[in-house]
A and B are shown apart, each in its own frame.
Chain A
């Protein structure tokens, strides 16, 4: 089976930088995805990593270390609209994805 761990809640200040960590244990790893989900809405895709290293996409970056079973999502220049749940999902070779329970980020003025 797969085990995915993320912090339940985080708080940060508008304009700051926040890092959301995700650790996982899986067999047949084939990619790690980050999604954003606002309350009452569907998850929307943010970023994904298949190889080790950093992927940058505007204010969002994601990092992966396959040997450590570790990823993080970095959000820069935080805005109030970034308050949401951030979901880490691990995909296996079979194409199936397993999601963590999400990290609820609250951005304060």
Chain B
């Protein structure tokens, strides 16, 4: 068990570009969550999966954000046409059931130039 892994750790891109992040959860964890965190704030819920099914997506997310978990293992989060306001830390977490605590990865820090 190597914990939740996220890639890349840092991403710097120009406004308007598309970016994709990857999350590998703890093996056999069927729940996977994506959060966004900015300085001085707590993690903000984006979306979550149970196996390959996306169960909920935050209403705060625009259509530029999409997430997938095609085989119920790793997940990707894509942001299209990035904007300055997308600069944040993107955190992934997993748990083995709805009743267990979430384990977080180290996050991907996105900077938009």
User: Do A and B come together as binding partners?
Assistant: yes
A interface residue numbers (CB < 8 A to B): 4, 30-31, 33, 35, 41-45, 48, 50, 87, 89, 91, 94-102
Is the CB–CB distance between A43 and B43 below 8 Å?
yes
Is the CB–CB distance between A42 and B42 below 8 Å?
no
State whether A48 and B101 are in contact (beta carbons under 8 Å apart), knowing that A95-B31, A95-B48, A98-B45 are contacts in the complex.
Answer: yes
Find A97's partner among B40, B45, B55 (CB 8 Å cutoff).
Answer: B45
Find B98's partner among A33, A89, A95 (CB 8 Å cutoff).
Answer: A95
Nearest chain A CB to B57 CB, angstrom units: 11
Is the CB–CB distance between B101 and A99 below 8 Å?
no
Q: Which residues of B contact A97 (CB under 8 A)?
A: 33, 45, 102
- Which B-chain residue is minimally distant from A41 (CB atoms)? B106
State whether A99 and B55 are in contact (beta carbons under 8 Å apart), knowing that A33-B101, A45-B101 are contacts in the complex.
Answer: no
Is the CB–CB distance between B55 and A94 below 8 Å?
yes
Q: Which residues of B contact A35 (CB under 8 A)?
A: 104
Please give the number of chain B residues whose Cβ is less than 8 angstroms from any Cβ of chain A in the complex.
23
B interface residue numbers (CB < 8 A to A): 31, 33, 35, 40-45, 48, 50, 55-56, 91, 98-99, 101-107
Is the CB–CB distance between A102 and B55 below 8 Å?
no
Q: Which residues of B contact A45 (CB under 8 A)?
A: 101-103
27 pairs, CB–CB < 8 Å, chain A vs chain B: A4-B42, A30-B98, A30-B99, A33-B101, A35-B104, A42-B91, A42-B105, A42-B107, A43-B43, A43-B91, A45-B102, A45-B103, A48-B101, A89-B42, A91-B98, A94-B56, A95-B31, A95-B48, A95-B98, A96-B45, A97-B45, A97-B102, A99-B44, A99-B45, A101-B40, A101-B41, A102-B40
